[in-house]
Structure 1
């Protein structure tokens, strides 16, 4: 008997009893759908929470000179390029305090900086800090050489500047003894509130107009999250090999601990429910197959009398059981994926459909079909032709 003949024979029982087959497949579908849903929903929720926690800087470190010692032991000028050589590090940027005062007018008190700091910044600073320019533009390789400045959100408010395009040519502020043109205003930067209260100028511009010595004050380091602690351990010696004790590294954000704690929490909470639902579906298939054997004794006896072996009978009922479970598995997987995606969209989460969820759903259905069909198939195969025809 070819596999195609065997499949056709196995599907015969489903076609002749469609209502019973549909109800049995529904039991499997509900179990599989539950399994897929309780996998997809936690995966979507976890991915969304992980994204939100990542926005808090779980993969970012800051390196500074200890308070009170910056003037004596500043960070080396080449510290950024040294940190870039660390394998897990993905991005490095830096700022430095120019120790100058920013004013809106040259007639205001030269010592009154309104609590604002003038920093010189690397051009990749917005990328590393995930900062966004609210109005205007960030510094470029061209503007970083000239007296151009970008204001943090708080700095712009305190200086009374709301639009870098007004007046024509851009508003100007006084930094030290020079006028600088405001070319942009940053949105608030939650990862580094100090940037909000700062005016940022180019590295070369700072050297030319403020007497900046080239030593960075703060390094911002992004690294692969699993290696963040290892990177932190080697940073002091990398940044300042001559005096690593004079480099202070922030600890990884506590959000990193929270993120790791949530990664394996959700799915385990619901898998028990899915297993119970799947078990109920399997019992339904087994019950259907046992009843099918009892009702079809005449058919079994006639096939045995016409030469069908016990293997043929066993294969027929086992195929029918697997086909019944497979139909339920396909329906349940489809329903589970749609329900999981729909719920994620409704909640505003990322839609995550793990491949393992669909594979487990279909695989679980087939496994249930095999296990549920073994006993009924074996029972049917043990019937002798005479016994089967006599009890028909």
Structure 2
């Protein structure tokens, strides 16, 4: 290269990252309301994704913890429902026979009294049952179900023969009974029954949760109960649940074993986990749609920004800025807009998850992937949305933009 070439060759134009960031955020700083509205779409989409992921994870964790706490070794034995909607009777010997099955730890019999109802008082119309049932039980029920009393005490040998009842959690709520004292009574089967206790919620036995429980002796003396259980709760050894389950039907009703239904309540909670996962996919799809709409909005705003700043683009090109510098300026603006929207979306999603988890009594759990994946997706959406406006800005001719600007 000759000295003359060295003198006449213009220096290569360069731009520092700090300068690119400053020029890239110029439009955001001068048009703040537009920037907030543009970033809001990104924030809503990311917040929806983070909240759905967090709420799903929190609810699943709560359900799995509930399953672990209550155990998967609880089985129920019933004979379906009759034409009137009440539970069908099992043989009177079913309880005794099931307790003899190898691998069974405990059996708690219950019997629904389909012709009896429970009301807050005798003035409530007979048809307004609130979906509650009257069920006979004995003192083995709480231990078998791993249930606990929220207030009062359960039925025992001293109270089972008298008009005394223990309410399930939902039954007490429906009847409007929040505390137990000596004067608390309900109108049950045409008689006043003293409320001795209220059970905590029983997720594995919702039918008990909705029942007023009385003793077998008083069920015989006052309501003509003949000794046939309608639903049995069985605790089995964890290692032998499948084996025991296969024996319960034929043991409970040897004459008609095909009429006996043996279920595992924990399967219902496990199914709820699967339902929560499938529902999460739907809401994640809605979040993705929100992001798509937000990306289109950012692209539209950036195109308008390019048209409004034609004179600025022409001046920068005239002063030596290259096409790459101009494109980088507008691309940086859309990337920053996406990053800010993504960060705001993560914060909103975490706040929604925490609030909902607190209201449901769950432990707040937010997947780590959502915390870093949300902003990353937002930046990608912003970058893709800003590609066309950036290339359009780079293709503008300096002379034309200065003349028309």
TM-score range with shorter-chain normalisation? 0.5 to 0.7
Shift in Å, 1:74 = 4.5
Contact 1:300 1:388 in 2 (8 A): yes
* Superposed counterparts of 1:282-297, under 5 Å: 282-297=295-310
User: Take 2:393 and 2:372, find their aligned partners in 1: how far apart are those partners?
Assistant: 31
Q: 1:252 maps to which residue?
A: 264
Structure 1 residue 375, shift from structure 2 partner: 0.7
Aligned counterpart, 2:146: 129
Residue 235 of structure 2: aligned partner: 220
The superposition leaves residues 305-350 of structure 1 with CA deviations (integer Å, 9 ceiling, x where unpaired) of: 33333322222211110101222222233234334544555x5453
TM-score by length of 2: 0.53
Q: Does 1:233 align with 2:210?
A: no
TM-score normalized by structure 1? 0.54
Equivalents in 2 of 1:60, 1:260: separation in Å? Answer: 18
Evaluate the alpha carbon distance shift between residue 370 and residue 51 of structure 1 in structure 2; reply closer, same or farther with a 3 A threshold.
same
Equivalent-residue separation in structure 2 for 1:314 and 1:364 (angstroms): 21
Cα deviation, 1:175-199, whole Å, max 9, x if unaligned, reads xxxxxxxxxx997585598x9969x
Residue pair 1:33, 1:335 contacting (<8 A) in 2 also: yes
CA–CA separation in structure 2 for the residues paired with 1:235 and 1:159: 35
Shift of 1:262: 2.4
Match in the other structure for 2:27: 13
Shift in Å, 1:302: 3.0
CA contact (8 A) 1:47 1:350 kept: no
Q: 2:323, 2:394 within 8 Å by CA — same for their partners in 1? A: yes
Gaps of 5+ in 1: 81-92, 98-114, 137-150, 163-184, 199-217, 224-229, 240-244
Contact 1:153-1:187 at 8 Å conserved across structures: no
Distance in 2 of aligned mates of 1:2 and 1:320: 15
Partner of 1:59: 72
2:45 is the alignment partner of 1:28: no
Name whichever of 125-134 and 378-387 sits farther off. Answer: 125-134
For the residue of structure 1 that corresponds to 2:362, the secondary structure is: coil
Aligned with residue 312 of structure 1, among 314, 325, 335: 325
Q: How many residues align?
A: 291
1:360, distance to aligned residue in structure 2 (A): 4.5
Choose which of 333, 358, 366 in structure 2 pairs with 1:354.
Answer: 366
Contact 2:76 2:263 in 1 (8 A): no
Moved over 6 A (4+): 67-73, 115-119, 133-136, 159-162, 195-198, 245-249
